[in-house]
Chains A and B, each alone.
Chain A
Amino acid sequence: MIGSIPPAFILLFGAILIPFLKNRTLRNGYILLLPVVSLINIIGLPPGVESWVWSFLGHKIILGRVDALSLPFGYIFSLAALIGAIYSLQGRSDEHVAAMLYGGSALGAVFAGDFLSLFVFWEIMAFAAAYLVWAGRTPASYQAGLRYLLVHLFGGLCLLIGIVIHVQETGSVAFNAVGLSGLSSYLILTGFGINAAFPLLHAWLPDAYPEASATGTVFLSAFTTKTAVYVLARAFAGADLLIWIGAAMVAFPIFYAVIENNLRRVLSYSLINQVGFMVVGVGIGTELALNGTVAHAFSHILYKALLFMSMGAVLQQTGKINATDLGGLYRTMPLTTIFCIIGAASISGVPLFSGFISKAMVISAAGIGQLGFIWFILIFASAGVFHHSGIKIPFFAFFGHDSGLRPKEAPLNMLIAMGIAAFFCIAIGIFPGYLYSILPYPVDYVPYTAAHVVDQLQLLFFSALAFTLLILSGIYPAEMRCVNLDADWFYRKGAKAFMSLLNNPLAKAGAALSRLVFDLIPRGLLQFSRDPVSSIRITSESILSHLSHSPARQAYLSDEIKRARENYPHNLKKHWTVAPTATWIVLLLLVYLIIYYFF
């Protein structure tokens, strides 16, 4: 019966069957059915109820904590899985399995009411997502996927240690508000923060997402960061620190996005920027701010998926994704162009598009809280995001200089997926009431006032003017084939430095140590025990000859050493006769007896 299955299980266990469906039509139908059933199942869940509660080692495991905060994420994750499935319908079965496991575990994390099941779903997400990065099937994506996995396993470990300490402190595995106090909370925050791409912990995102397959990135853009936003809202709502972290996330990526050449990497940086708005909302923590966070996560998943889908279509049809290689594609890919522009308008917050009605809630919350500095950064970032995602992406891919490429329009299933996402972007923008009605708190916010619309249009149009003038005057930075260093430098170059430290100085020191312990010392002892007098003489003369600077003396000493070496084993008898040996043994025994009696 629908409504009686834990939300995660439909996608998680449904995915197992995909590889066994050899008939293409049957397989595709089944893949589309999974997220639809998941969505219907979640719509049927009774809000405010904890379902699927088990007792495990004396702790309560809750797979279905259904409330006003988890439900919107449940809806949008199922919808994102559906749109992604349509978009990637022509893809390989293994990618579909990974995508469904990924979406299912994200749903599991969102509806988890306890830390243990949250952690399990968290880890499944990391592996499924790494698989989608590997699905890019290039050497670069193989390496980026490995780095992705290592970073997320590290984040998972931080989370796990934090959870263990937290459970020790509170005696309960329940996953509720944690608040920032004590080591455990900061470890949990670090674990969440790696998935949310906090500044300096963010580099995995622009590293891995552009290397995934054209279809894989669509899923990647939806789940990991937004699950992190959800758990932050659940555990750390109102933590002031998050306002500042969010403000940094909002601001710094837009500078990178301006100079980045790979258009999917531009979108990755703008993803961090958009998640920054949500983190600020969590940090402010008022009802309006949290509503804004959830609403923005909802609309963000749709328009960011739309933008990644349009760039994925470009990548698939042309094999290129760098701005230096693209341009002028509107001629033969008009529908993709239109969908991309709709996504661009939504992310920029153009009135009548989804970003306008959601981002504004967070900015208003900052205004009501009189956070002037934060407000300035958020407005700056709103202008900046229009600049690089709103204009740069469509301009360099579809307009700009004519690259001479005349690719075919994207295949029908991709166009349908983009069409659905575009429809929701516009529908949410025009009729915000539906989105507002599913938010955690009652909404008393009117996005469409004359002042707000005009202010926002001024901001956007004058940003467009700045772009136009900079392009026309030639000041706008030309796109270049290059690598822009980011925080991943520390572990990418750091790992290399570590390995060369291991391979060179440390390996040499280790070899020297083993020579000393296993070769020089035993041999020296052996020689000493055979003939102490000449071995001491050889050693001391060797040392003296090393220390001496005069060549004549060195020559004399080396002669002496040579002579001593020649004589070395033969003169054993001269010193080592039976009588003194017996005397020595008696003396040693005597010493032993004295020690034994008196100590």
Chain B
Amino acid sequence: MAIDKKQDGRAKKEYLFDKPANVKRLLWTLYSCLIGLILIDLFIAKHPYFPWEEYPSFYAAYGFVSCVLLVLAAKYILRKMVKRREDYYDR
């Protein structure tokens, strides 16, 4: 039962990500994991179904690129096509 007492001017309860330092810590953890994964990838024996799976860090590149393309396509193509006012079907 934590109530936000900001309006009262009294002490406000601090939560985990209210501190910017914690957010930064999380981001740095993510970045170090990424580097670690790229490094580990070089030393692992693969058993691929397709030749392209053998490229170093293929999955990393494919995951990153496809997510960026996904978001851009959704934002600039799909949303342009299908977005309507919230009461579109009620009018």
| Residue ranges of A at the interface with B (Cβ–Cβ < 8 Å) | 254-256, 258-259, 330-332, 364, 367-368, 370, 372, 375, 379-380, 383-384, 387, 399, 404, 406, 408, 449-451, 454-468, 470, 475-477, 480-486, 492-493
Distance of A259 Cα from B77 Cα, bound (Å):
11
Query: Does B44 make an interface contact (CB < 8 A)?
Result: yes
- Report A222 CB to chain B, min CB distance, Å: 27
Instruction: List 14 A-B pairs, Cβ < 8 Å.
Output: A332-B2, A367-B50, A379-B62, A387-B70, A451-B46, A454-B40, A455-B58, A456-B59, A461-B37, A466-B68, A477-B71, A477-B79, A483-B83, A483-B88
Q: Chain B residues with Cβ under 8 A from A466's Cβ? A: 63-64, 67-68, 71
B86-A483 in contact (CB<8A): yes
| A458 engages B78 (CB within 8 Å) | no
A455 and B73 CA atoms in complex are apart in Å by 25
CA distance A346 to B36 in the complex (A): 23
Q: Which residues of B contact A (CB under 8 A)?
A: 1-4, 13, 15-17, 27, 30-31, 33-34, 37-38, 40-41, 44-47, 49-50, 53, 57-64, 66-68, 70-75, 78-79, 81-86, 88-89
Flag if A465 contacts B64 (CB, 8 Å). Answer: yes
Please tell me if the beta carbons of A387 and B84 are within 8 angstroms of each other in the complex: no
Q: Is the CB of A464 within 8 A of B66?
A: no
Residue of A nearest to B84 (CB): A483
Q: Are the C-beta atoms of A408 and B1 separated by less than 8 Å?
A: yes
> In angstroms, how far is the closest chain B Cβ from the Cβ of A379?
6
Complex: A303 Cα to B71 Cα, angstroms: 24
Which residues from B are CB-within-8-Å of A258?
A: 70-71, 74-75
Contact A458 B41, beta carbon cutoff 8 Å: yes
Q: Given contacts A383-B63, A482-B83, A486-B82, is CB(A331)–CB(B2) below 8 Å?
A: yes
Pairwise interchain contact B83-A459, C-beta atoms closer than 8 A: no
Bound CA–CA A256/B88 (angstroms) = 17
Chain A residues with Cβ below 8 Å from B33 are 461
Task: For A254, give the chain B residue with the smallest CB separation.
Answer: B70
Choice from A256, A459, A470, A481 contacting B68 with Cβ under 8 Å: A470
Q: A259-B83, A454-B40, A482-B86 are in contact. Are A370 and B63 (CB under 8 A)?
A: no
Cβ-defined contact, A256 with B49, below 8 A: no
A384 touches B34 (CB 8 A): no
CB pair B71–A470 under 8 Å, yes or no, is yes
- B86 surroundings in chain A (CB, below 8 A): 481-483
For B75, list chain A residues within 8 Å (CB). 258-259, 475-477
User: Contacts A331-B2, A451-B44 given: A259-B79 contact, CB under 8 Å?
Assistant: yes
A330 near B16 (CB under 8 angstroms)? yes
Q: Could you tell me the distance between the alpha carbons of A467 and B73 in the complex, rounded to whole angstroms? A: 14
Determine the chain A residues whose CB is within 8 A of the CB of B30 once the complex forms: 461, 464-465, 468
A-B residue pairs, 5 tightest by C-beta: A367-B49, A466-B67, A258-B74, A459-B63, A477-B75
A475 shortest CB reach to chain B, Å: 7
Report whether B15 and A330 are in contact in the complex, using a CB–CB cutoff of 8 Å.
Answer: yes
B54 → A minimal CB distance (Å): 10
B50 touches which one: A375, A404, A458, A467 (CB < 8 A)?
A375
Q: Is the CB of B74 within 8 A of A383?
A: no
When the two chains form the complex, which single residue of A375, A450, A462 contacts B63, counting CB atoms closer than 8 Å?
Answer: A462
User: Of the candidates B4, B72, B73, which one forms a contact with A406 in the assembled complex, judged by CB atoms under 8 Å apart?
Assistant: B4
A484 to B81, CA, bound (A): 9
- Tell me, in angstroms, the Cα distance from A557 to B34 when the chains sit together: 94
Please state if B44 and A468 are interface contacts (CB–CB under 8 Å): no
A454 and B68 in contact, given A259-B83, A484-B79 (Cβ under 8 angstroms)? no
CB distance from B58 to the nearest CB of A (A): 8
Asked if A461 meets B2 with Cβ closer than 8 Å, knowing A368-B49, A454-B41, A492-B89, the reply is no
Q: What is the bound-complex CA distance between A259 and B72, given in angstroms?
A: 10
Inter-chain contacts of A259 with B (CB < 8 A): 74-75, 78-79, 83
**Residues of B with C-beta under 8 A to A408:** 1
Chain A, Cβ-Cβ closest to B75 = A477
Q: What's the minimum C-beta distance from B20 to chain A, rounded to whole angstroms?
A: 13
- A480 — nearest CB in chain B belongs to which residue? B83
B40 to chain A, nearest CB (A): 6
- Closest residue of chain B to A470 (Cβ to Cβ) is B71
Contact A476 to B71, CB < 8 A, known contacts A458-B37, A463-B64: yes
Chain A residues with CB below 8 A from B81, complex form: 485
Q: Is the CB of A399 within 8 A of B3?
A: no
